[in-house]
Amino acid sequence: MAITRCPECETANRVPEDADGHPRCAKCKTDLAWLVNADDAGFDDAISTPLLTLVDLWAPWCGPCRMVGPILETMAAEFAGRLKVVKVNVDENQKTSARFHASSIPMMLFIKDGEVIETVVGAQPEHVMRSKIEGHLAG
């Protein structure tokens, strides 16, 4: 469970890995960024949401992965209430890595209703990720 500060009222909120709907501030009900870490055991629960889910398969030693991380944090905040970002460390979670054939990282999966709808391999600039998210949210 992560702690996220509300962008409106600054209240610290616990944000669960899985939740019905999406997380909102306990005080002012503002949609919160939903960015969680998942492991092999909890991965299916983490992606079980009606929201568009962006899975980031990454490793701490990967330079491009470290470049993508802040972009995904920004996207989670920008699309709060409509997007969930799930980060999976491939070194520590090899079952999930193998499940999606993650031979190159960073690898990002867009998932809707439990199905992968797009795979993006390699670091992408913020405007590209924003455009992809907007496209999936509109479709």
Measure Cα distances from 11 to 3, 14, 73 in Å. 10, 10, 18
Q: What pTM does this model have?
A: 0.89
Exactly one of 6, 9, 28, 62 is catalytic; name it.
62
CATH code for residues 35-138: 3.40.30.10
> Domain map of the chain by residue range?
35-138
Question: What are the tens digits of pLDDT across the range 29-54?
Answer: 888 888 899 999 999 999 998 899 99
Exactly one of 6, 9, 28, 65 is catalytic; name it.
65
3-state secondary structure of 5: strand
Task: Clarify whether 62 is annotated catalytic.
Answer: yes
Measure Cα distances from 101 to 29, 39, 105, 115 in Å. 39, 16, 10, 15
Question: What are the tens digits of pLDDT across the range 58-81?
Answer: 999 999 999 999 999 999 999 999
The Cα 55–Cα 96 span in angstroms is: 11
The structure tokens listed for 100 are 């999606």
